Structure 1
Amino acid sequence: MKIKELIVVEGKDDTTAVKRAVNADTIETNGSAINNKTLDMIRKAQQARGVIVLTDPDFPGEKIRKTIAEQIPGCKHAFIAKELALPKAGRGIGVEHAKPEVIREALKDAQYMQETENEEISREDLLDAGLIAGPGAKERRELLGNILKIGYTNGKQLHKRLMMFQVSRQEFAEAILKLRQEDIHE
């Protein structure tokens, strides 16, 4: 599978994992303290070929993703669920631990993230769905992120993430129905 866009990853091990899964070029951020030189490279890549951001499903990965989204609009974002980015043994979480088929699926499902003023889903909707506060809310958010392929986020950021990915009321309702069928802490 050949990917036209450049894929932004965190480090060399992530590049190795991506190249095992697909034929693609990568840009490595070399950690969460992403510098201006790297941002300029990503900006140039976005203009020339497009960019897919594929960072680890952890706090530093989200920090990198947020920095890129703020600085370089129009990038696609791909997510790998935490449980699919765990090592067979040892510690850590990351793209480098994901199986090739998981990486291919994440890249295939990459989506644009953009700011929007159109609020289809309210914070009240999130409360009603048990996604903010209460027992099991974290697990439901994690499952929702996997269902919608927008990654995991905390309660405060969920509303913003739904808006950035322009999730419609219908998509949200279908995801909540699927979530409830999974019977997570209901």
Structure 2
Amino acid sequence: MKIKEIIVVEGRDDTVAIQRAVTADTIETNGSAITEETIERIKLANEKRGVIIFTDPDFPGEKIRKTIAERVPGCKHAFLPKQEALSKKGRGVGVEYASVEAIQQALRHVYEEAAEWREDITLDDLIAAGLIGGPLAKARRQRLGQILKIGYTNGKQLYKRLLMFQISKEAFYHALEQVLQEEKNNE
């Protein structure tokens, strides 16, 4: 599998994991303190070939993703479910721990930020679905993020991602139906 875009990752171990899974070039941020020079390289890469942000499914990874997305509009995003990114010893989370198959799957489901946001889904929809507030909200958001391939988020981030990636109301409710059915089956 060859990737045209340049993939932005956090570090050298992530680059090694990506290159085991696909043929691609990477830019490493070397942590969450992204330098101006790195931002400029990402901007140039985005202009020339496009960029896919592929950071770890943890707080620092989300911070890096948000920083880059704010500074370099028009990037694409790949998300790895947290359970696919756990180290074998369970002490770490990162792209570098993911299997070849998990990385390839994430890169097959890349999202592009919409140029113009439509507000098909409302915060009221999320509240009514039990995705914000309530004892099952976190687990539901986590599973919904897996199904839609947009990563885990808190309630506010979920709303923003649904809009940013233009997830249709139909796709949202289809995924939600799957989450609720799985809950019912696990009772």
| Range into which the TM-score falls when normalised by the shorter chain | over 0.9
Distance 2:24 2:153 in 1: 27
Distance 1:178 1:8 in 2: 32
Q: Which runs of 4+ in 1 moved over 4 A?
A: none
Show structure 2 runs of 5+ residues with no match. none
DSSP-derived class of the 1:52 partner: strand
Distance 1:139 1:108 in 2: 24
Task: Indicate the residue corresponding to 2:62 in structure 1.
Answer: 62
Cα deviation code 1:97-140 (max 9, x no counterpart): 00001001101111112464421111111011110011111010
**Could you tell me how far 1:183 is from its partner in structure 2?**
1.0
Distance 1:24 1:156 in 2: 33
Equivalent residue letter for 1:170: E
Distance 2:138 2:176 in 1: 14
DSSP-derived class of the 2:2 partner: coil
Distance 1:90 1:178 in 2: 28
Q: Does 1:45 align with 2:34?
A: no
Equivalent residue letter for 2:177: L
Alpha-carbon contact 2:55-2:64 (below 8 Å) kept: yes
Cα deviation code 1:137-182 (max 9, x no counterpart): 1010011111111111111221111111111111111111111121
Q: TM-score, normalised by structure 2?
A: 0.95
Counterparts of residues 23-42 of structure 1 (less than 5 Å): 23-42=23-42
Distance 1:115 1:35 in 2: 26
Distance 1:2 1:167 in 2: 26
Alpha-carbon contact 1:69-1:113 (below 8 Å) kept: no
Show structure 1 runs of 5+ residues with no match. none
Identity between Structure 1 and Structure 2 (%): 61
Aligned length: 186
Distance 1:113 1:68 in 2: 13
**Could you tell me how far 1:33 is from its partner in structure 2?**
1.1
DSSP-derived class of the 1:183 partner: helix
Q: TM-score, normalised by structure 1?
A: 0.96
